[in-house]
Amino acid sequence: METLKGKNILITGATGGIGSETARLLKVSGANLFLTGRNAAKLQQVASDCNVTTENTFALDISNGAAVDELKKKYFQQLPTIDILINAAGIGIIKTMETLDEQDFLRSLNYNLYAPFLLLKAFLPAMKELKKGLIINIPGVLGKVPMAGAAAYSASKYGLVGLMQSVREELKRTDIRITNLFLGGVDSPFWDNIDLRVQRDKMINTEEAAKAIWFLCQQPASGVVSEMVLQPFNHQAI
């Protein structure tokens, strides 16, 4: 496994349960981190907890193209290269077609599909210059299997999988790797505002989900983990 010491890593969604735990593990492993999130106060708290300087953080709406351009500028002011991009940002809108409206649907696409596209456009060229890098996405199991009430969410995540698989084909002559992590139910703030009866005590905790990402960041240079599935033992959808 590759060492993480000295690796330059961008984590989007660092204020979420999975993102913050991932940041903690990677920092302890000696990585140089740049953290983003929507909520500036939460972002500074995570940065403080992980001993990341304020200069290596940027609060933004990740679905805003101009904001992502500014993120790119600020990132490369602090770190010379990008070794790993972790797309941990996203939103979960779980509604039936009867209650799902156009705004909900477009928000799902903007944050879960359009935002990763913007990040690719911003940071993939730097990886191409060095012909190496790693991009980790978290489509979740609903990017692989359907669920009633998840039309908008699954549409965005299926789209993310298709986007990344196509880009992977374009990168075959480089050492840039793309990994999709299909997480099942994770007990995180994701579920706080979702009106769905779930057994959160049976879910994967955020620490275990973060350990999966930490593991994927250490893939050997000679190979790639294209996909990983991690789901609750008693609720296997795949």
Domain 8-230 falls in which CATH fold? Rossmann fold (3.40.50)
**Per-residue pLDDT, 82:** 98
Domain boundaries along the sequence of the chain = 8-230
pTM of this prediction? 0.92
At a CB cut-off of 8 Å and minimum separation 6, what does 95 contact?
104, 149, 151, 152
As given in the structure block, the two tokens for residue 182 are 């299909």
pLDDT digit string, tens, across residues 92-147: 888 889 999 999 999 999 999 999 999 999 999 999 999 999 999 999 888 888 87
Higher pLDDT, 232 or 123: 123
Query: Minimal CA–CA distance to 80: which of 183, 10, 149?
Result: 10
* pLDDT score, position 13: 96
Confidence class of residue 238 from pLDDT cuts 50, 70 and 90?
Answer: low
Residue 28 has a pLDDT of 96
**Residue 193's pLDDT band (cuts 50, 70, 90):** low
Across all residues in the chain, what is the average pLDDT? 90
Tell me, yes or no, if 158 is annotated catalytic: no
* Residue, of 202 and 153, whose pLDDT is higher: 153
- Locate all alpha helices (DSSP H) within the chain, ordered by sequence: 17-28, 40-49, 65-78, 102-109, 115-130, 151-170, 206-216
**Residues paired with 95 in a beta bridge:** 150
Catalytic residue of the set 111, 114, 153, 158: 153
